Amino acid sequence: MTDPVIIFDTTLRDGEQSPGASMNTAEKLRIAVQLEKLGVDVIEAGFPAASEGDFEAVSKIAGRLKKTEVAGLARASRGDIDRAWQAVRHAARPRIHTFIATSDIHLQYKLKMSREEVVKAAVEAVRYAKSLTDTVEFSAEDGSRSDRDYLCRVFEAAIAAGATTVNLPDTVGYAVPEEFGELVRYVREHTPNIQKAVLSVHCHNDLGLATSNTLAAIRAGARQAEVTINGIGERAGNTSLEEVVMALHTRANFLKAGTGIHTEFIHPTSRLVSMITGIMVQPNKAVVGANAFAHEAGIHQDGVLKNPMTYEIMKPETIGLSASRLVLGKHSGRHALRTQLKDLGYDLSDDEVELVFTKFKELADKKKNVLDEDLEAIVTEGILRTADVFVLDYLHVTSGTTVLPMASVRLKINGRPVRDAGYGNGPIDAAFNTIGRLTGTASELLRFSISALTGGTDAMGEVTVRLRENGLLALGKGADPDIITASAKAYINGLNRLEYLKTHPVQEEAGL
């Protein structure tokens, strides 16, 4: 028999704090709907007091979701808690998540408060939140580096004040599994009223141990895991949802715990988050990486052909990968396209399907077969970026060994057409220089990477850029069979994300 573990997803809050991963409201809402489909128990939709954009996104998510609990993060202050409650109050299942640091280093240098003052602040925050909603979570920031007995004392006081969940974060990824599991056991044994609340853990991956620490905590009795899709988050990221869920699914005989996640939606959700944030999943990433179910060594291939379980401990179908896909081409119709899109996790409206169908036909005229990755790129280009300030209308480049690289570009800026031409060290540099002049931006290109979405010489190329302007960071992503066009799309996408950040400033980020 397995114990249920609550999956608390913070992709839209902690995950968004990955440098350059800011999302607009429509993008957050699309991810939230997919997370509910995935079966996540709790979604931390954002930090409503951080910005107007965050408040709007949390409010819309709260009003849209029917089954999943929606949490808003708040510091231990009435202002933050009021703002969080205003955002989540219309949710079918609202939660307020309030926090304050408990480690001596945070008390001394960040909060400049005594231990007694922190206990008082925690109690007041939880009690006030409890007056607004029955479901209140309290987090002891930097809990893994806090004095154990003091941590238990804070948790006891928070539970007595009404907290229904107490969360133990490894905020800076300092813990190791044996130590963290022992800490969880200590908290359970030395917090007198711990049975009145769910004990949660929230681990960061600075030492690459986030998933291991989370599993050790579950083995020690924690019953909520705070995670993100693809493990995105501040610095080295958070505990990965797919790793924890599939570890519990695959090793239920040892871990004696399970989740209510619909695992067949893991891969589509991973791809959606990657596309929207522009953060690529490394090929050797556990569970969802491109190589997770690939076998190149001859002995491995031979074994898998005889029995997949020789080298695969999970079936690809379990996470939503299937070998039996429809092959789409220029003769495929709307019904086949809609079916394939639904298999990939996209429930689009009739108008959205029509838009994707038009772009699908254009691509099908250029290549024989349109693969899943091609469709996902079309959805990204056609559906997820419909409110951009800058839109690429036309691009022409000349380049070669005997000519000076030049680019001619026509853009639409808020619907107004503009055009220019310019030179560069190469065709991509020329395109970027021209786009920069047309948009009047002065961003610095920090990173430029290219990858092929599919195999073959007609593969869709995917370009990712990281831009910086006036202290703001943004990722841009573009895909096209023509790599120069993909580069221009990625650059323009990054500029649009910078424009979004300029109009949706973040006041302060949380550091759980």
Q: pLDDT confidence of 156, banded at 50, 70, 90?
A: very high
Specify whether the CB–CB gap between 115 and 74 falls below 8 A: no
Least confident segment among 18-27, 179-188, 222-231, 426-435: 18-27
- Amino acid 6 reads I
What's the per-residue H, E or C state across 163-180?
Answer: CCEEEEEECCCCCCHHHH
Confidence (pTM): 0.85
Which tops the pLDDT comparison, 69 or 503? Answer: 69
Residues 6+ apart with CB under 8 A from 116: none
Per DSSP bridges, beta strands 224-227 and 6-9 are parallel
pLDDT of residue 322: 65
User: Does the structure show a pLDDT above 80 at 507?
Assistant: no
SS3 50: coil
User: Does the structure show a pLDDT above 60 at 297?
Assistant: no
Q: Give the residue-averaged pLDDT of 345-352.
A: 80
Most confident range, picked from 86-100, 261-275, 469-483: 86-100
pLDDT of residue 304: 47
φ, ψ (nearest 5 deg) of residue 222: -65, 145
User: Does the structure show a pLDDT above 70 at 311?
Assistant: no
pLDDT of residue 222: 98
Q: What single-letter DSSP state applies at residue 281?
A: P
DSSP H helices, 294-349, are 298-306, 334-343
Residues 6+ apart with CB under 8 A from 176: 207, 209, 213
User: Does the structure show a pLDDT above 60 at 396?
Assistant: yes
Q: pLDDT confidence of 300, banded at 50, 70, 90?
A: low
The rounded distance, in Å, linking the Cα atoms of 54 and 58 is 6
| Measured torsion, CA atoms of residues 229, 230, 231, 232, in degrees rounded to the nearest 10 | -90
Average pLDDT, the chain: 90
Q: Give the residue-averaged pLDDT of 399-414.
A: 95
- 46-56 pLDDT per residue, tens: 999 999 989 99
